[in-house]
Amino acid sequence: MRNVEQDPDGRELALPPAVQEALGELVNAAKDGLLALSVGVGLGVLDTLMEEEVTEVVGPKGRRDPDRVAVRHGHEPGEVTLGGRRVGVQRPRVRAADGSGEIRLQTYAHFADRDPLTRVVLEQMLAGVSTRRFARTREPVGEHVTAAERSTSKSAVSREFVGRTTEHLRALMSRDLGDVRLAALMLDGIELKGRCCVVALGVTTDGVKVPLGLWDGSTENQTVARHLLADLVDRGLDLDQGVLVVLDGGKALRAAVDQVLGPVPVQRCIRHKERNVLDHLPEADRDLVKRRLRTAWKQSNYELALDGLNRLADELAHSHPGAAASLREGLPETLTLQRLGCPEQLRRTLASTNPIESMIEFVRRTSRNVKRWQSGDMCLRWTAAGMLEAEQQFRKIIGVDHLATLTIAVERDLAARRSATASPTMSTTTPEPAATLAPAH
């Protein structure tokens, strides 16, 4: 909004004399716009508030008071946070009358807090604003304020962002999971320009999606996934009652689940399986095979669905053995939800890794301006910030009303699998690996 008028020829007209007189020293700020005027007024109000607090603590100026507990101690330069920048002010000082030290003024402490600045920096960076362009995104607040502002340079913005994302990473990796009851646990890897993070997303029994943690590595390997799962257990995640684990089908993640979580039911992502099978086929055959795959996966009856997929694999074995082998690998685990009797509405949500991939896509979008990952710490910080930012937009999953049914089925399935591993001749210290178990039908 402009605070000057234009004549019919397009020339700017000065502010009316009455307005200039009323504004006084703020007339120059008014020329920069309404926001700059508001900032000038606000800084003046801040000065008044600080002086009023001094009067409240010390007492009226120039009046003798033998019971005075504090005295004025002049002024010194200070800084307050304003719209993603640090602006200089003259702050009053107050010292205790007995000489014990300086008394902190609450008004100045509130406006000097750097947290609003780091929050603005984080939001701008995650929105795709580079450190070099950060200063340009600030609203005009007047030439006087802009000339003295700080914390808008590339290096200052970078420091603020590193500090904020470090806090986010620490908050995510130190979350207490003792009170979290999961119905499903999703694992997937995210590739970021040569770096890799394995991330975990939980779905609680209330249908709430919760980012659980992440682990850095060079690839999506078994060791990285095992460390991530072990960290979740160390932070209190209770898996004794069982949880459905949803994976993209990677062998490394599957092996890590067996080692850390034991014989929990695993649902392999049907979308990943579909892509893997179709990649082995010529274009002319893909539509028919895709329809048959999806028809089988829509079946609610486990035996019928398994039979349909096995027949398709037998047919492909003659013409496209690679596609047949890809389909048979882990085939029963693409139907785990049918085997557990999961209702169709919830099955559509948990039969694929779409929920965690949606979170991963948010991480990719927020870090799209990063040209080079300097370290694993940088990768972890950006990923954690993106995960927590995505969490703010999460909604309850579709099919939440059926989670209780699924949870009971998972508990029964886990109990049956544990009973199957029990044997009088088996050592109690070296249980049989869960990977050797046949799927329960």
- The answer, yes or no, to whether residue 306 has pLDDT greater than 80, is yes
Spatial CA neighbour of 330 closest among 406, 257, 259:
257
Q: Inform me whether the pLDDT recorded for 348 exceeds 70.
A: yes
Question: Given a cut of 80, is residue 177 above it in pLDDT?
Answer: yes
Q: What is the pLDDT of residue 324?
A: 95
Lowest mean pLDDT of 42-51, 156-165, 344-353, 391-400, name the range. Answer: 156-165
Mean pLDDT (the chain, rounded): 78
Longest dimension (CA), the chain: 104
pLDDT at 145: 53
Could you tell me the pTM of the whole model? 0.67
Please say whether the beta carbons of 360 and 199 come within 8 A: yes
| Residues of the chain above pLDDT 90, percent | 35
Position 351 confidence tier, pLDDT thresholds 50, 70, 90: very high
pLDDT tens digits along 203-261: 999 999 999 999 987 667 788 889 999 999 999 988 887 899 999 878 889 899 999 98
Residue 305 clears pLDDT 90, i.e. is over it: yes
Q: pLDDT at position 17, please?
A: 59
CB 257, CB 222: distance < 8 Å: no
Report how far residue 128's alpha carbon sits from residue 389's, in angstroms, rounded to the nearest whole number: 13
Q: Find tokens 């890794």 and name the residue.
A: 353
Question: In this predicted model, what pLDDT tens digit does every residue of 105-128 receive, in sequence order?
Answer: 887 777 776 555 455 545 555 555
For residues 126 and 123, what is the distance between their CA atoms, to the nearest angstrom? 5
What pLDDT score does 337 carry? 96
Confidence of residue 197 (pLDDT cuts 50, 70, 90): confident
List, in sequence order, every residue forming a beta bridge with 150; answer none if it has no partner.
86
DSSP state of 129: -
pLDDT value, residue 270: 95
Please report the pLDDT score of residue 82 as a whole number: 64
pLDDT of residue 341: 94
Q: Which residue did the predictor score with more confidence, 161 or 325? A: 325
pLDDT classification of 296: cutoffs 50, 70, 90: very high
Residue 282 clears pLDDT 60, i.e. is over it = yes
Residue 135's pLDDT is 52
Rounded to whole angstroms, what are the CA distances from 337 to 212, 228, 259, 266, 269?
23, 25, 22, 9, 11
- Mean predicted confidence (pLDDT) in 405-426: 80
* pLDDT tens digits for range 128-176: 555 555 555 555 554 555 555 544 455 655 666 677 778 878 888 888 9
CA 153 vs CA 160, 244, 282, 373: distances in Å: 11, 48, 54, 21
Mean pLDDT across the stretch 59-63?
Answer: 77
Q: Per-residue pLDDT for 184 more than 70?
A: yes
Q: Which residue has the higher pLDDT, 425 or 407?
A: 407
What is the Cβ-side half-sphere exposure of residue 211, based on CA atoms within 13 angstroms? 29
Whether the pLDDT of residue 8 is over 90: the answer is no
Question: H helices of 127-221, where?
Answer: 143-148, 154-173
Best-predicted range by mean pLDDT (23-32, 212-221, 318-327): 318-327
pLDDT tens digits for 85-108?
A: 667 777 888 888 888 888 888 877
Rounded (10°) angle between helices 354-366 and 376-391: 120
The share of the chain scoring above pLDDT 70, in percent, equals: 71
* Integer Cα distance of 381 and 366 in angstroms: 12
